[in-house]
A and B are shown apart, each in its own frame.
Chain A
Amino acid sequence: MRVESEFTLLATHDAAQLVAEQWERFAATADIPSEVAFAADHALTEHVQNLVDHGHANGLSVTFNALDGRLVLTVEDDGVAYNPLDAPEPDLSLPIEQRPIGGLGVHLIRKLMDSVHYERTDGKNRLEMVKGWTR
């Protein structure tokens, strides 16, 4: 069964919270497994918060799509060109005192989702985050 939800919102300080509320409703409707819903919740929150804090976006367009054990989350924004996947992977072997504190959000997105794809088209950033499951 295919379940899809699409919505737009302003990139205001409460955008991450609003997306999280939409996600909670969608995850229940689409019967997303709890571990997948937990991962997607984090990935969405981290990405949207990054856009609000650093992306200079006015508006966001968000799509959730679930079909046959595959979830696709898409976030499009009209901010400055920003590819979060350009951020280097943190070196987890460094002692805690030497580890940079920034960049954790993108790291979590990479680790929690199966795949993440970025593209810049028509003056917009588009991030697609995918995660699958089997029951």
Chain B
Amino acid sequence: MQITKNLHDTEYDYLLSGRIDGPAAHQLEVEVLAAIRAGATRIYINLAEATFLCSAAIRVILQYHRQLKAQGKSLLISRTSPEIDQILELTGFRDSVVEKT
């Protein structure tokens, strides 16, 4: 997996490309934690170029989505590929964590 980060003030955008498996889920968590520590108020995760999304990565997204929401901040998925959208739909979390356009 490759992570590209774009930063605008306290808004963080992460573009995740390729296979998001167990090690990549850990890498994502490290990035998100660093953003939170740096004062991020909005975190967007773009999965349009992701080819695989394991449950460990979904757990990371859910955990920090909940944590930030409770603090009046946000972590949302900004875009998905059709394949990743299917995985999120099957878990029942898609409507909660994918940004509504």
Interface residues of A (CB under 8 A from B): 16-17, 20, 38, 41-42, 45-46, 49, 90, 92, 96-97, 99, 101-102, 104-105, 107-108, 111-112
Partner of A49, one of B52, B56, B91: B56
Task: Tell yes or no: B90 within 8 A of A by CB.
Answer: yes
Assuming A49-B22, A107-B90, A112-B90, is B52 touching A42 (CB within 8 A)?
A: yes
In the assembled complex, which residues on chain A have CB atoms less than 8 Å from the CB atom of B6? none
**Shortest CB–CB separation between residue A36 and chain B, in angstroms?**
12
**Shortest CB–CB separation between residue B81 and chain A, in angstroms?**
11
Counted as pairs of residues, one from A and one from B, with CB atoms less than 8 Å apart, the total is 54
In the assembled complex, which residues on chain B have CB atoms less than 8 Å from the CB atom of A112? 90
Partner of B92, one of A38, A41, A90, A102: A90
Q: Does A107 contact B54, Cβ atoms closer than 8 Å?
A: no
Contact string against A for B residues 37-75, beta-carbon threshold 8 Å, 1 for contact and 0 otherwise: 000000000000000101110110011011000000000
Task: Tell yes or no: B87 within 8 A of A by CB.
Answer: yes
Interface residues of B (CB under 8 A from A): 19, 21-23, 52, 54-56, 58-59, 62-63, 65-66, 83, 87, 90-93, 96-97
Q: Does A104 contact B52, Cβ atoms closer than 8 Å?
A: no
Complex-state Cα separation, A42 to B84, whole angstroms: 11
Assuming A45-B54, A46-B55, is B21 touching A101 (CB within 8 A)?
A: no
Kindly report which residue of chain B lies nearest to residue A112, judged by CB atoms.
B90
**Shortest CB–CB separation between residue A75 and chain B, in angstroms?**
16
Complex-state Cα separation, A7 to B74, whole angstroms: 44
Interface hub of B63, B65, B83 (most chain A Cβ within 10 A): B83
Q: Does A108 contact B90, Cβ atoms closer than 8 Å?
A: yes
In the assembled complex, which residues on chain B have CB atoms less than 8 Å from the CB atom of A42? 52, 54, 87
A-B contact list, 6 entries, CB within 8 Å: A20-B21, A42-B87, A45-B21, A99-B92, A101-B62, A108-B90
**Shortest CB–CB separation between residue B100 and chain A, in angstroms?**
14
Complex-state Cα separation, A103 to B11, whole angstroms: 31
In the assembled complex, which residues on chain B have CB atoms less than 8 Å from the CB atom of A46? 54-55
7 pairs of A and B residues whose beta carbons are closest in the complex: A92-B92, A104-B55, A105-B55, A96-B96, A111-B90, A101-B59, A49-B22
